[in-house]
Amino acid sequence: MKVIVSKDYDEMSKKAADFVISNIEEKPQIKFGLATGSTPIGLYENLAKASKDGEISFKYAKSVNLDEYIGIDKDNDQSYQYFMNENLFNKVDFKEGATHLPYAPEADEKYTKDYDELLDEFGQRDIQILGLGPNGHLAFNEPAEKLNQRTSIVELSQETIDANSRFFESADDVPKYAISMGMADVFNAKTLIVLASGKGKHEVVRRILEEDTIYPDFPASFLHLHPNVYLFVDEDAMNG
């Protein structure tokens, strides 16, 4: 695991974006795995600026996303589809049909099979962008006695619901279920870019860097199994 420490969030976002930009320049037909949440917003802003300035293009790129809330309309301003549209897709030149998110209007396993088929056809990603949940979850693979390999319907932990409630009027409005890539699919990328910013992520970062044990009640520990991980952190996340 390669650890890149920046003084603050803006510098971390710029360094991560520069890394992604160099990969796009090297391979314009790059295949991405994308993440939502507040942490990658700065990265996406830098990529959008580079695209606007003509430094890079996404017209040959393709992407898949990790997860989505269940039972929330794609046009809802708290859906991950809306998030991706606002923060990246509407600002760069992805071709129509080149970006994909899981979707499940209800908690039915048939939607997980649909996304598994899409992921199988999509193939291995060149880069997968990941954030870190405060409890160490990756995508919506929550700490548990066992973890799913493929796309699944997951019940969100209270800790995750509480963390996401800042985006809703109240915690009661946060969806309780999500559709998410499983661990095998999360890791099906040549390179993982993991972003962590702020004091609230310090404990997760500390455990990743100091503990060697792999266990399902701390999904982030599985990062040690991937051969090519870049962990971008700011000083608050690194030092607490």
Rounded CA separation 167/76 (Å)? 12
Residue type at position 6: S
Q: Is the dihedral of CA 169, 171, 177, 180 positive or negative?
A: positive
Interacting residues of 152 by C-beta distance below 8 A, sequence separation 6+: 112, 179, 180, 182
Interacting residues of 219 by C-beta distance below 8 A, sequence separation 6+: 136, 137, 138, 141, 142, 143, 147, 183
23, 65, 135, 141: the catalytic one is 135
126, 142, 234, 236: the catalytic one is 142
Nearest in space to 82 (alpha carbons), one of 95, 72, 94, 92: 72
* Element of type H or E holding 100: strand 99-100
65, 137, 188, 236: the catalytic one is 137
224 is catalytic: no
142 is catalytic: yes
148 is catalytic: no
CB 129, CB 229: distance < 8 Å? no
67, 116, 185, 234: the catalytic one is 67
217 is catalytic: no
> Around Cβ 214, how many Cβ atoms within 10 Å?
12
Interacting residues of 72 by C-beta distance below 8 A, sequence separation 6+: 78, 79, 175
Rounded CA separation 198/233 (Å)? 8
Annotated catalytic sites, by residue?
67, 135, 137, 142
